[in-house]
């Protein structure tokens, strides 16, 4: 392509933490907003942190307005992630709220939901407030807290869900642990329906998945590695969606990775049951053959499945059976991931590559258009979590991502803002990159070229 731009050397991404909110006009960009069905060249005016107008009249633009020329770029609602492990407090060697916020901004995220995979876990109002205060101090991405579904994430007693909601939790979940107590999940769905609180479950039957390393199939058999059978996920999804149907509770299952899970979600949605689902980007482009390298960066959860599962997941994203694509950001320190494959923990840093992964393997491959891709990455997650964002309608938060769709770059995990440098697409050339992330009208991230970008003939 004549307009395809390639990075010859590293770019220098800047965090503009000190940036203040100002009137902002984004001009000449291709506005892609699924919430309004918009996909056209347009101007976006942001005033006092909110979207003031699409294609404003010249006389409505303040004289001191800061302008961003988005020629050749996509302007879209900031991305929203349904499940990020921040790891602080307790596991700061893996990640901190500050480093995760920086990574999220670099990936185009303006809002993230953080899981309770911390020590102590987030099962009290004080723990919710701790995360909120640390996120406010980071002054970057908007962080929404997911409280524990059960006390201490032990699956025995329901956590103080009303107190967690009153403290600001937007959802409850024991993720990355699955909820194994059927009776507790049913009671929680009933109770959370009254609270209008979302329950998120990472579906797995632990007894079937115990000590598993990778997808249970032909490749695991040849490699002599214990498998994670698809039945472990399928049975958990079947229980989850049946209980959601019985209680009419708000339930999100994910990330999912199997054909069986997709089939059950599709069936229950046909009966208009309020269930949503998500998938990780690496489960849409890689399969279990990657583990033939015995490289722990491919040890992710849910695991990389066989090609048939990958194709089914893509089809489910395309037709909307799977509502959202979430990063699957599970950071683990370099020392932990350097262990042998059997001993290394599941996990990867994926906030900074999710958008480009979707652009490369789905949009550029003509499986998704940009309108649908932004819906799965922004509009749908915001709707599922009932948080502001996912739209650039007038009066909505001025949370915007600007994307250069023609910019190609090679992933270098050592350049990540995340403390974790393990990524299944490390050293892979991806297409499209975030150039600006704007939160509440303030530019929090800008990608600044360190060298000239050359156009390929």
For residue 9, the model assigns a pLDDT of: 38
Quick check: 378 and 35 in contact, CB under 8 A? Answer: no
Which of 1.25.40.390, 3.20.20.140, 1.10.15.40, 3.40.50.920 would CATH assign to domain 77-385? Answer: 3.20.20.140
Block mean pLDDT (10 aa), the chain, length 457: 45 54 92 98 97 95 94 98 96 97 98 94 96 95 97 95 97 95 97 95 96 97 97 98 95 97 96 94 98 97 98 98 98 96 96 98 98 98 98 98 97 96 97 97 86 32
Place of tokens 């409850």: 172
For residue 22, the model assigns a pLDDT of: 77
Query: What CA–CA distance (Å, rounded) separates 151 from 120?
Result: 11
Quick check: 377 and 80 in contact, CB under 8 A? Answer: yes
257, 258, 264, 265 alpha-carbon torsion, rounded to 10°: 20
For residue 2, the model assigns a pLDDT of: 43
Query: What CA–CA distance (Å, rounded) separates 48 from 185?
Result: 42
For residue 456, the model assigns a pLDDT of: 31
For residue 18, the model assigns a pLDDT of: 54
Alpha carbon distances (Å) from 67 to 46, 163, 314, 326: 10, 44, 38, 31
Place of tokens 């001025």: 398
Quick check: 260 and 312 in contact, CB under 8 A? Answer: no
List, as one string, the DSSP characters of 352-376. Answer: TTHHHHHIIIIITTTSS-HHHHHII
Query: What CA–CA distance (Å, rounded) separates 136 from 118?
Result: 18
Query: What CA–CA distance (Å, rounded) separates 235 from 141?
Result: 35
Quick check: 57 and 25 in contact, CB under 8 A? Answer: no
Query: Which H helix or E strand runs over 22?
Result: none
Quick check: 126 and 95 in contact, CB under 8 A? Answer: no
List, as one string, the DSSP characters of 57-125. Answer: -GGGS-TT-EEEE-TTSEEEEPEEEEEE---TTT-TTT--HHHHHHHHHHTTEEEEEEP--SSS-S-SH
For residue 116, the model assigns a pLDDT of: 86
Q: Which residues contact 190 (CB under 8 A, 6 or more apart)?
A: 247, 249
Q: Is the bond preceding 176 in cis, omega lying within 30 degrees of 0?
A: yes
Query: What CA–CA distance (Å, rounded) separates 102 from 140?
Result: 7
Alpha carbon distances (Å) from 198 to 53, 112, 227, 381, 454: 32, 15, 31, 12, 47
CATH class of 5-75+397-455: mainly beta
| Domain extents in the chain | 5-75+397-455, 77-385
For residue 173, the model assigns a pLDDT of: 97
For residue 228, the model assigns a pLDDT of: 97
For residue 20, the model assigns a pLDDT of: 62
Quick check: 342 and 225 in contact, CB under 8 A? Answer: yes
For residue 197, the model assigns a pLDDT of: 96
């Amino acid at each position: 392509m004549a307009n395809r731009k390639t990075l010859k050397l590293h770019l220098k991404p800047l965090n503009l933490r000190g940036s203040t909110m100002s009137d902002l006009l984004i001009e000449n960009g291709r506005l892609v907003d699924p919430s309004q069905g918009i996909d056209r060249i347009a101007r976006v005016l942001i005033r006092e942190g909110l979207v003031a107008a699409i294609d404003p009249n010249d006389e409505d633009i303040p004289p001191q307005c800061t302008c961003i020329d988005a020629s050749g770029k996509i302007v879209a609602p900031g991305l929203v992630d349904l499940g990020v492990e921040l790891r602080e407090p307790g596991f700061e060697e893996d990640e901190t709220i500050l480093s995760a916020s920086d990574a999220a901004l670099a990936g185009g995220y303006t809002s993230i939901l953080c899981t309770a995979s911390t020590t102590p876990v987030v099962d009290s109002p004080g723990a919710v407030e701790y995360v909120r205060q640390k996120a406010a101090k980071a002054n970057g991405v908007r962080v929404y807290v997911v409280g524990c579904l059960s006390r201490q994430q032990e699956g025995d007693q329901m956590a103080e869900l009303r107190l967690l909601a009153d403290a600001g939790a937007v959802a409850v979940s024991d993720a990355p642990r699955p909820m194994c107590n059927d009776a507790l999940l049913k009671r929680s769905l009933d109770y959370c329906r009254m609270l209008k609180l979302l329950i998120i479950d990472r579906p797995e039957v632990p007894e079937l998945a115990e000590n598993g390393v990778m997808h249970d199939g032909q490749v695991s058999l040849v490699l002599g590695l214990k498998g994670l059978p698809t039945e472990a996920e399928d049975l958990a999804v079947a229980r989850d969606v049946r209980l959601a149907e019985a209680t009419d509770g708000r339930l999100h299952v994910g990330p999912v990775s199997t054909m069986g899970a997709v089939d059950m979600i599709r069936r229950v949605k046909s009966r208009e049951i309020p269930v949503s689902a998500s998938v990780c980007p690496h489960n849409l482009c890689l399969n279990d053959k990657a583990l033939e390298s015995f490289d722990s960066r491919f040890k992710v959860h849910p695991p990389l499945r066989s090609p048939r599962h990958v194709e089914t997941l893509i089809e489910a994203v395309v037709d909307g059976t799977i509502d959202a694509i979430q990063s699957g950001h599970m950071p683990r320190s370099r020392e932990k991931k350097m262990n042998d494959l059997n001993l290394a923990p599941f996990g990867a840093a994926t906030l900074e590559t999710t958008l480009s992964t979707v652009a490369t393997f789905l949009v550029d491959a003509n499986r998704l258009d940009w309108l649908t891709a932004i819906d799965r990455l922004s509009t749908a997650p915001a709707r599922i979590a009932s948080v502001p964002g996912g739209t650039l309608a007038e009066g909505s938060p001025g949370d915007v991502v600007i994307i250069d769709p023609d910019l190609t770059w090679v992933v270098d995990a050592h350049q990540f803002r995340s403390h974790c440098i393990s990524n299944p697409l490390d050293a892979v050339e991806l297409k499209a990159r975030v150039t600006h992330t704007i939160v509440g009208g303030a530019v929090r991230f800008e990608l600044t070229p360190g060298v000239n970008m050359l156009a390929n003939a």
